[in-house]
Chain A
Amino acid sequence: MIPAGFEYLSPKTIAEAVGLLKTHGPEAKPLAGGHSLVPLMKLRLAAPRYLIDLNRIQGLAYVREADGALRIGAMTRHGDLETSDVIHNRYPLLADAARVIADPLVRNMGTVGGSLAHADPAGDWGAAMLAARASVVATGPRGERVIAIDDFVVDTFQSALEADEILTEVRVPQPAARSSGAYLKLERKVGDFAIAAVGVQVTLDGGGKCEQVGIGLCNVGATSLRAKRAETRLRGKAPDDTAIAEASKAASEECDPVSDLRGPADYKRDIVRVLTARALKRALQRARG
């Protein structure tokens, strides 16, 4: 399959890329890893007139902790997170998610920033970052702005980025004491999108109660979803089997899956219930060390 013709532009700096986006407006599309965009172009579901390749910009791929947050450069490949020591040792939610995205070859190209900016409800990072209460940095002609992940996810394939902005960094709060996370995905085969997936991040207080909890759901709604009612069921409570069962039931009720090739909606709801319970248990076990 051959994409429609386009003009290829390869800026060397963020400022140059932003300038090109500003000049060409909605006719331009930034190219990160390209593993969502290029297939769409080959199917001619996307036909941007200008393709602005971000891969030649230095300094957009990094993973480091600074000022209370884990900072992930937008062009960091999924595979780089999969093999990152800091992710492996301190961010189990992200480590779990990184290793189940698409397949190893795709993970060598696909980027965290590109995936989030694509705003596909089936994207694993959306659900994981909701659970982690991450924020993203958008850089445009007016400078940088920090957007909470809840505000960044707007609709199916629609993020809060303006046409002349580029997602440049993802920030994840550093883990508090007695906190951990987990990400569980059910897929038909490696490389497929999730039938459903659930990300969880929990923080326990000194008495073992749930001080903070984040639960993100993947591919069971029009966007990546926060399971708000499930979170409410747990916050301030002792996360015993009853509380976990109630929260998991709440998550299955508040998601909104559609019936498709991956299964009927009621099946997916039940998968959300099961995965939420398992992810909570795994995260709690890890948080208790």
Chain B
Amino acid sequence: MAHKIRVTINGTVHEADVEARLLLVHLLREVLNLTGTHIGCDTTNCGACTVLMDGRPVKSCTIFAVQADGRTLMTVEGLAKDGQLHPIQEGFHEKHGLQCGFCTPGMMITSCALLARNPNPSEEDIRWAISGNLCRCTGYVNIVEAVKYAAEKLRSQPAAAGGRS
């Protein structure tokens, strides 16, 4: 049986008829063509599929699309506005926070949620927050630097704090 769902993603309302077993990440990637959210391990381990659901970072490979009915999501596509990179994207660029880039969307979404909650995180806070997001390239050092960069930038322009959605 198909379920009619209505989800707000990056500020836009989307409606879809979904089978109950459709995973949220498949709704995003295959139905709505929002392919910035990645499928890494597909086993709830790696965090590549992280999206914000009602402001909290969650693994979209472990949630059914029908569970998101009526909720508000943000994906990596919601970060940049009017051609301007979000400070977290700028941070990953400036501090070389990625190599292959596969984990990056999830890393940035998780980091945004951290910065919305804690605008001035310590290195330990950052490492704690991203501990559910795996990176196999960087060794994390530059990712932590990227988040620090974004934190500083966001503090200097408080109106843009957290995820601008």
Contacts and interface: CB of A to CB of B under 8 A. Distances in A.
A53 interface: yes
Given A55-B67, A105-B132, A2 B43 contact: no
Contacts of B132: 102-106, 190-191
A53 B66 CA distance: 10
Contacts of B62: 34-35, 38-39, 106, 109
B56 A8 contact: no
B49 to A, nearest CB: 9
Contact of B21 (A5, A102, A190): A5
Contacts of B19: 5
Contacts of A10: 66
Contacts of A3: 21
Interface of A: 1-8, 10, 34-35, 38-39, 41-42, 51, 53, 55, 79, 102-106, 108-109, 190-191
B129 interface: yes
A8 B42 contact: no
A104 B131 contact: yes
B44 A51 contact: no
B122 interface: no
B30 to A, nearest CB: 11
A6 B23 CA distance: 13
- Interface residues of B: mostly helix, strand, loop or mixed? mixed
A190 B58 CA distance: 16
Contacts of B110: 104-105
Interface residues of B, number: 27
B163 interface: no
23 contacts: A3-B21, A8-B1, A8-B20, A8-B64, A34-B62, A34-B63, A34-B64, A35-B62, A39-B62, A53-B66, A53-B67, A103-B131, A103-B132, A104-B128, A104-B132, A105-B50, A105-B57, A106-B62, A108-B57, A108-B58, A109-B58, A190-B131, A191-B131
A35 B21 contact: no
A118 to B, nearest CB: 14
B45 interface: yes
Contacts of A2: 21, 23
A106 B66 contact: no
Contact of A104 (B44, B57, B63, B66): B57
Interface in B21-68: 21, 23, 42-45, 47, 50, 56-59, 62-64, 66-67
Nearest to B45: A191
Interface string B112-141: 000000000000000011011100000000
Contacts of A39: 43-44, 62
Interface in B47-91: 47, 50, 56-59, 62-64, 66-67
B41 to A, nearest CB: 10
A113 B72 CA distance: 25
A38 B67 CA distance: 12
Nearest to B43: A39
